[in-house]
Amino acid sequence: MQIETIATHPYNDQNPGTSGLRKKVKIFQQTGYLENFVQSIFDSLENYAGKSLVLGGDGRYFNRPAIQTIIKIAAANGFGELIIGQGGLLSTPAASHLIRKNKAFGGLILSASHNPGGPDEDFGIKYNVSNGGPAPEKDTNAFYQRSQLIDNYKIALIDDIDLDSIGSQCIGDFKITVIDPVADYAELMQSIFDFPLLKQSISSGYITLLFDAMHAITGPYAKRILVDMLGAPAESVINAEPLEDFGGHHPDPNLAHAHELAERMFGDSAPVFGAASDGDGDRNMITGSHIFVTPSDSLAIIAANAQLIPAYANGLSGVARSMPTSQAVDRVAASYNIPCYETPTGWKFFGNLLDAGKITLCGEESFGTGSNHVREKDGLWAVLFWLNLIAQKRQSVAEIVHDHWQKFGRDIYCRHDYEAVETPFANAIVEHLRSQLPTLPGRVFGDYIVKYADEFSYEDSIDGSISKNQGIRIGFENGSRIIFRLSGTGTVGATLRIYLERFEADATKHNQEAQTALADLINLAEQFCEVKQRTGRTGPDVIT
């Protein structure tokens, strides 16, 4: 195998966020840009010679050419084997499972998650470590530091690989194995859930369902599992073909973007259960006939009912949630007398807790839930969990949700997103909030008395690492919270996320519409951060 060393120069914007490096496609298409970042990752790793690497992505535009480039760089740098999803496709949770199952050294996942795809849209790449989870901050910091010094990359002078034919081939000592991207994941799901019960419940007509793959990666997975294995009608899975531009849509599973699903679920003759997943398959939206389940409630309900699912019949070791996620799961953990951990946003923070056996379930309000079966959030896993729950409890989604509120109370919750805020404005808003923190405790705002006001910092109980500046929290004596956080998942400007939460114990008030119930907190949030005043906007871009 002939290997060439190519001279290059650093790009100053290759600092990966919580979910890897995300930029516009045209940025990744710059000469040496992708090559630099991949080489910087490999230069920062140790002892990988001869070992295996999992590779795949969500099928968005630039996925295939990027994979061909990465194959050649991995070969040149001494990896022994690449395990690649057929067509270059792998959902993020499936990639995590493959890393773990094959005891691979790690994996490269090509995705910008729920961001739009296409020639003028977004692309992304992230490295997952040997436990199947996203690289921790010490590693991503090392990738960035190396990217600022890089002056060459290595690439093998080999032909492009046939990504569409399953099988193995060797180029010298370098082995490339193209696999069915769905089979191993489907087998894993079959080991977790009661497939015979699900198949009977679907075939009898007790469960009718609609799954929106949003022309993203989970289409093939949903068709194989829901249709082929569980017997749901083929029309139960819509927008099932992965497209490079996601059909021109935004593959973000919420009521705003999964509008076709929402219209069906809130219309006449709605099926019993509806769900959607995102670009790379790690997020989920859960709905029932005329009801939307918030991700925070979904996590709490999953935790409260986990013993009904075969894989979790012996109970949970603990649960964890990201800091902005509602405190609904905390109430379940307290009732069941199990630990509950609060982490920063970013799935990598759950990895140490999962590896140490401290938790079994975890989730984020940003439509992500998962368990110890992989080290990523997992959209289809959550869908199957809910289907198994409906089949086991013989209740509708609405009945399950309302029974949960009756027992634990309701954390009325929503998130307001102000997208693509110009970075100087976004930073000024955060600084304005920081300046107020020392003065807020004890102040009275109508019915709300500020109990605490701080910036969340997290010390990892397993490795002792400390993550600072993870979101600004304003908590009130009655348990309500307002949280402000800049998200790093976009590629233009910054997204200001405002999280609003109020606990309601009175069952007669559980059916309140969230925006109405949270009106006072919404007004207080604007009073504190002045996002409308500073940006001239009249309201958030997305409410979830």
- Residues catalogued as catalytic: 113
Q: Which two tokens stand for residue 197?
A: 């019960």
Cα–Cα distance between 205 and 356 in angstroms, integer? Answer: 42
Report how far Cα 43 is from the mean position of its chain's Cα atoms: 27
Main-chain dihedrals φ then ψ at residue 4, nearest 5 degrees: -115, 140
Beta strands in 133-238 (DSSP E): 152-156, 167-171, 174-179, 209-212, 237-238
Alpha-carbon torsion, ordered 303, 304, 307, 310, to 10 deg: -50
Cα–Cα distance between 470 and 40 in angstroms, integer? Answer: 26
Q: Which two tokens stand for residue 86?
A: 């057929």
Cα–Cα distance between 273 and 208 in angstroms, integer? Answer: 6
Cα–Cα distance between 497 and 390 in angstroms, integer? Answer: 32
HEC secondary structure over 352-411: HHHHCCCCCEEEECCCEEEECCCCCCCHHHHHHHHHHHHHHHCCCHHHHHHHHHHHHCEE
CA angle 280, 283, 285 (to 5 degrees): 130
User: Which amino acid type is present at position 184?
Assistant: D
Cα–Cα distance between 322 and 350 in angstroms, integer? Answer: 9
Residues linked to residue 177 through DSSP beta bridges, in sequence order: 83, 168
Supply the DSSP symbol for 17.
B
Instruction: List, in order, residues 6 or more apart from 408 with CB less than 8 Å away.
Output: 300, 304, 328, 331, 332, 335
Cα–Cα distance between 416 and 495 in angstroms, integer? Answer: 10
Cα–Cα distance between 148 and 327 in angstroms, integer? Answer: 41
User: Which amino acid type is present at position 344?
Assistant: P
Cα–Cα distance between 163 and 86 in angstroms, integer? Answer: 6
Cα–Cα distance between 480 and 352 in angstroms, integer? Answer: 29
Alpha-carbon torsion, ordered 258, 259, 264, 266, to 10 deg: 100
